[in-house]
Structure formats: C-alpha cells, structure tokens
Structure 1
Amino acid sequence: MEQLHFLELTDLAELIRRREISPVEATRQQLDRIAALDGTLASYAVVTAERAMAEAQAAEADIVAGRYRGPLHGVPLAVKDLFWTSDAPTAAGTTIHKRFRPTEDATAVRRLREAGVVLLGKLQMTEGAYSDHHPEIVPPRNPWNADYWPGISSSGPGVAVAAGLCFGALASDTGGSIRWPSAANGLTGIKPTWGRVSRHGVFDLAPSLDHVGPMARSVADAAALLTAVAGADPADPTALQAPVTNVAAMAKPSVDGLRIGVDREWGRRDVDPQVLAVLDDAERVMSALGAEFVEVQVPDVTQAVADWAPNCAVEAAVAHRATYPSRRAEYGPVMRMVLDTGRALSGFDYQDLLLRRMTFRGRMRALFGKIDLLQVPAHPFAPLSLKTMGTMGLQPELIARLQAYTAPFNMTGQPTLTLPGGFSTDGLPIAFQMVAADLGEATLIRAGIAFQRATDWHRRHPAL
C-alpha cells in the first residue's frame, strides 16, 4: 500500500477487480500525494478532487454490485490540458483560454469515463502544444532531477506519471510531444497512427500532424489506454474506421521472426555514446528473444524535418485565427513567432511542402514493405539539462537534431512506441523508439511487451 502510487495501471486494475483495494482508497492516496508533491513539481494545471472522489465512489459501488466495466474501471488517471472536459476549464497551456469551459468532453475523455476511469484533473503543457511554456505559467519539473528537461509539450503528463501522481495519462504529439516527455521521465508512450484516436474536443496545434495517445509506466498500461480511446468517431470524420484490436490479442508471447530494421548510418549519426549503448543493448535483448535485425537505408529525412516547422506553423495560424493577431499581446513570444511564420508563408510554398511530404510518406511506406519495425533513438542526445535547452532557440542545428527522429513520423503519420532502455551517467532515463507501418500498433505492442518482460527499465522510479 505504501508504494501504491508506483504500481502499473494494469496491476492496480487487477487489485481493484479482485476488490483488494477500492477505487476510493486509490483515489484518496493519489490526491494526497498530489497535494504533498505537486506544489514543487507543477504537473497539474487543475486538480478536480471533488469530482474525482465522486467518480471513485460510483466506481466502487458499481464494482461491488457486479457491474465491472473492464481494466480501467476505478483507475485514477489524468489528461493533458488540451482535452475538453465539461467539469473543468481547458486552457491548452495558454492564458488566452484560461476561462474556456467546454460544454462537452472530448471524445477520448468521454470514452475514458465510459470505461469507468477516475479523472484526477488536467495536466500542464506548453503554450498551444508548441515548444515553450507561456511566460506566466510555471513549467513542470523533472522528478528525476529538477535541473533537467521534462520534455515538451506533454511536460505535465510526463512528470505526473513518473512521479506517481496518476497511473497514466492521455497526451498529444505533433512533433515529439509524447516521445520526448516519455524519454525524459522514464515512461512508455504510444504515438498511434494519425487518426487512430479521435481529435474531437482536442485543441489543435497542427491537425494533420497532431496524434492523440497514451503515456504510462508500461506497454501493457499504454495498450489498455489506447484500446479504450481508439476507434471511429462521427464527430471526427478523420478518425480511422479501422477496428481496434483488443489488448489481449496484442500481447503475443513471442517476437520470433519479427524483422526490425536498423539504419546504422542515419540511426547512429551524431548520436551520443550513451544513447548508442541503449540502442545496442535493446538490439541484443530483442535478438535474444527471436527478433531478426535487418540493415536498411531510411529515406533521407532532412527535408521532412525542415518542412515540419512551416507545415506546423501554417496549420497553427489557421487554428488560432479567431484570437491571433487580434489578441497578440496575450501570447508568449515563441507562439507569436510560430503564428507569424505561418501567416507569412505563401500558398505556392505551402503546396510545394505538401507535395514533398507526400513523396516522403510514400518512400517511408515502401521501406516498411521489407520490415515489421524500425528501431531509432528517441532523440540523439543524452538527457538534456534546462541550461542546454535554454540555448536551443539560438542554435537551429540543435533543434533539427532534436527533431530528426521524431518529426519525420508525424509527417508520415506512422505509429511509434517509446521505451525506457537505460540510464545516463548522471542517473537520468534514456529511451529509444520502435516505429511501425500505418495501423501497426499491435506489432509495436507485441515487441514492447516482450522487451519489458525481459528488462526492468520501466520499473525504475525517481526517488521522491
């Protein structure tokens, strides 16, 4: 009970199902821990304690009465503060929307509630889901070491799950925003195929790049969350019609014969030795489990990475046109720069960008005709200090390096899985990614579960 806060979601769910712990007790302990620690960590934008306790009591009554809804029933979770919730404001990391109170839940939030989840509150994020927190907002702090980067834009979800302030979270990823915080905080994150999860009721950054997905402590946990929220949605016609595979079907016992591609030029270029060591160790583990590693040549990502920023900027400018530039002074400096960039891009330049993006997507799809998965870094650096991140805006080449292994898979829309794989010499988590073809989440989850059965990196927690 004393370590309840670091249980995996699926383990807590089983205790709740067997009625060895009640949703009320689990929720009360989470709220007490948030009250004790989050004043320093700043991971929550708002805590909905009263409603959370009411949901926990309702879940307990249902379970006692035999109305068990499944593996999320009574489990305390939280969502990034760009998901609409009818019981709390949704500010999306801005001050301009701090009083926005939706009249309905986002589809993904509604599906969590239908699964019986207890929602503890809304998790802090960067302004508009871009790269910087609004100057008036206190950024979340990495629970492993407050002097290090907690990742963006899902900084609050990364910190809260890692610190034991919720058992999992819904987040979003436009250029790395599930993967970087998962890597920085020692978590497992799934960026699903674009459209796999409805975006209805989710603040846009760049709709054609935005992916909705889970951050959790294990692949099994993330798979349970993804299964609950994925699927077609009449309110979002872009949500894919593909059926959602059950978690049990995803968790095959073996990776024998799985072909995993590795590009030993691109996938190792300018990569820190500590990150290379994690990649090599992961390759040894998966090879021992029966996977076959295949040397491949990944299509050149240079132009796709360069195109990501203007692509994002144009779509963000459209998303914010009701309030920008009319309320320009209320935006932070980085978000103003992004929106100005998007408004200035010509239609001809944007069309050229879209055609290049289509070409890159086709080349990447061809690569996955030869392999099941691709192994790449989450980012090429060892864990980044806040001091280093403070200079990123002055060093475009560092930004390009940071995005080199994340932005390409927003441009293609492919699913990725981020896995903790080791630690730096400073004791900070280091992660790597697996990438699959469109709708390849089941293969990612199969490989990830096998890896986490053979390792315990995902079970390491910060000492708080």
Structure 2
Amino acid sequence: AGVSSSGSGVATAAGLAFATLGSDTGGSIRFPSAACGTVGLKPTWGRVSRYGVLNLAESLDHVGPMTRTVADAALTFQVIAGHDPHDPTSLTAPVPDILARLDGDIRGVRLGVDEAYIMTDSEPEVSAAVMAAIELLAGLGAEIVPVQMPDVSEVSQAWVTLSTAEAVLAHEANYPSRRDEYGPYFLGLLDNGAKVTGAEYARAQKLRHAITGQVRAVFDQIDVLASPSSPLQPWVAPPEMLYGPGGKRNPARQKYAVPFDFNGAPTLSLPCGFASDGMPLSLQLAGPLLGEEMICRVGYAYEQATEWHEQHPPLFP
C-alpha cells in the first residue's frame, strides 16, 4: 500500500473515509496514493501545522490530505491549512479558495516536461502512462515547455543522511534509552542516524540547497512540472514483508519525491491509468512554493477528462 501512511491510503481507496491525512518526509503521501489509485496532496512545507505530529525529520515533514478526487483534496486542504500558533513553523500566508478556481480551464498553463527525467529509471508502463497524460493535458490547452531537471542521482542518499539524523532528535526521549522496545526496521534507521557525522550532515544539506536552487530555476520557465509519482509500479506485498523487517531499500524509488521534500514545494499525485497487471499508475504534478492552486487546477482538468479516479477496488474481493 505504499510505505508509511499506507493505512491512510488503504482507508481512502476503500471508501472508509472522505479524506485521510498523511505525513510526507520522503514520499509518504504520494507513494500510498500512487499505490492505491487515489489522490495525494503534499502542500508547501509549513502550509499545514505539524502540531501533534510525531516527527520523523522536522525539516522535511509535510502533512497533507489523501482523497479520491482532486476537489476533495482541495477542500480538505482549505480546511486544514493556515497558521497555527502551536507550530511556529506554520506559514501565515492566506489560504486560497482553490475550489472556486477548479473550472477545468488550463489554457496557457506552462507544463514543464523533461522526457529524459521521466524515462530514466522508470518502468516502461509508468513512463508511458505519464507521457499519455501529458499529451492529454496538451490537448486541453496546456503549453508544453521542454525543461531540464537537475541530476537527482544523489538525492536519495542525502535524504537518508538528513532524515535519519533528524529522526534521532525526534526520538531522543526514548532512544537509545528504550532501544529494545523499537522494531528492527526503525531501530536500524535510528542506529544509522546516530552515526551521522556533522560533516556528513552538512554535505547532505549542501546538496539539498543546490537541488533546491536548480529546481527553482526550472520553475522560472514553467507553472507546473509533470512526472511520475514513483518510477516503480506498485506490487502486492508478501505476508512476510507485512510483519517482518522492511524490504531492501531501492534508492531510485524516491527520485521524483525527494526533490520536493527538499525544497518544500507542493505536489499532487493522481491516478493516470493501470498497468497490465491491474495495478494503478500515478502522475505527479509539482508546483512552486505556495503553488497548490495551480497544481490542483491542472490535476482537476486532467481528472475531469479521464475516468481513472472513478475505478475503485471491490469492497469484498
């Protein structure tokens, strides 16, 4: 069901709730949404208060809604976004009335496309579905702008360095004093974070800032960037993976997610088809800081022109 926040993803897909919340540090709103064929909105960092959230990595953690449609995600976002005095990092910027702008008109919207970025490391059915979605958006009036994304081959390892080190801080009340009470997977994560040196953390931050600046330059030319939500198709997790140690980590999985956790900019994941094995495929639309309205407008236009979001799993297999 797509790593952490998977319970929220499953509950949304099964229709158990109108909306659920996810926390995205390295993809955990987008991955479960992609795996479950639902919509996930990762807002700008600070748009939604993190008060009450058990942090993983405070500088990367985002809270956002997971729903069945873009309009539902926009509505939920409007309810939960805004400044919260309990969270000093929450933003004071006004929350836009996104629902009022969801009219399906995206004529003139500059949609950035880097075909090499989309194709490299992505499974063929993933990239094919995303390219088909881009073609459809062009037919709806979006202006396709070729762009070149920066080299993101090292972002996943930098993310591991930053997130594990910050996780040690988040758990300092219990780690290492109660280390025997942690499960094997998360304990390993904390142990790795405890070994991160100051120089390693600084090096990872240097890469983060460089990627942030390079992506910002890309958005000087465009309004929205299209890519897969994940380069990998979802798969059915074997029972031993559900209850045992986490599976082997694939760094390529976070290729499209981490750059927008690093820079804190908003992203929207939404269904864009099904693979040959019946598993859902997902399109990611990324915007500039505070760009939730624009990505929701584009996502809504795509959603209204397709039927992917209307297909749900049966209540009883």
Question: TM-score, normalising length from structure 2?
Answer: 0.95
The question of 1:223 aligning with 2:83 is answered no
- Give runs of aligned pairs for residues 207-286 of structure 1, distance below 5 A: 207-286=58-137
**Paired AA for residue 30 in structure 2:** R
What residue is the counterpart of 1:84 in the other structure? Answer: none
State the partner residue of 2:234.
383
Structure 1 gap segments, 5+ residues each: 1-149
Amino acid at match of 2:18: F
Matches within 5 A, 1:442-453: 442-453=293-304
Equivalent residue, structure 2, for 1:367:
218
Amino acid at match of 1:325: P
Name the aligned partner's letter for residue 72 of structure 2: D
Q: Give 2:87's aligned amino acid.
A: D
Letter in 1 for 2:97: N
Quote how far apart the aligned CAs of 1:403 are: 1.0
Higher relative contact order (CA 8 A, sep 6+): 2
Which of 260, 266, 281 is the matching residue for 1:415?
266
Indicate the SS of the match to 2:154: helix
- Whole-Å separation in 1 of the counterparts to 2:299 and 2:36: 17
Question: Cα distance, 1:249 vs. partner?
Answer: 3.3
How far the C-alpha of 1:413 sits from its partner, in A, is 0.8
Deviations along 1:283-309, one digit per CA (max 9) or x if unpaired, are 121011100111111011122222001
Distance 1:232 1:417, change over 3 A: same
Cα distance in 2, alignment partners of residues 355 and 438 from structure 1:
20
C-alpha contact 1:383 1:424 (8 A) present in aligned 2: no
| Structure 2 CA distance for aligned equivalents of residues 341 and 223 of structure 1 | 37
Deviation at 1:353, TM superposition (A): 1.8
Which stretches of structure 1, 4 residues or longer, exceed 3 Å deviation after superposition? 387-396
- Partner secondary structure for residue 374 of structure 1: strand
1:394 offset after TM fit, Å?
6.7
Contact 2:2 2:234 in 1 (8 A): no
Pick the structure with greater CA Rg: 1
Change (3 A) 1:262 1:236: same
> 1:387-419: CA deviations, max 9, x gaps?
4995996755xx111111111211111100001
**Correspondence for 2:309:** 458
Q: Distance in 2 between matches of 1:336 and 1:445?
A: 38
Q: Is the 8 A contact 1:305 1:408 kept in 2?
A: no
The aligned amino acid for 2:107 is: D
Which stretch shows the higher mean deviation, 222-231 or 245-254?
Answer: 245-254
Cα deviation digits, residues 56-113 of structure 1 (max 9, x gap): xxxxxxxxxxxxxxxxxxxxxxxxxxxxxxxxxxxxxxxxxxxxxxxxxxxxxxxxxx
Contact 2:19–2:66 at 8 Å: present in 1 too? Answer: yes
Q: CA RMSD in A?
A: 1.8
Report deviation, 1:438: 0.6
Kept in 2, the 8 Å contact 1:261–1:371? The answer is yes
Change (3 A) 1:392 1:372: farther
Instruction: Give aligned-pair identity as a percent.
Output: 47
Match of 1:426 among 243, 260, 277: 277
Any unmatched runs of 5+ in structure 2? none
Contact 2:272-2:281 at 8 Å conserved across structures? yes
* CA spacing shift, 1:161–1:250, aligned 2, 3 Å: same
How many residues are paired up?
Answer: 313
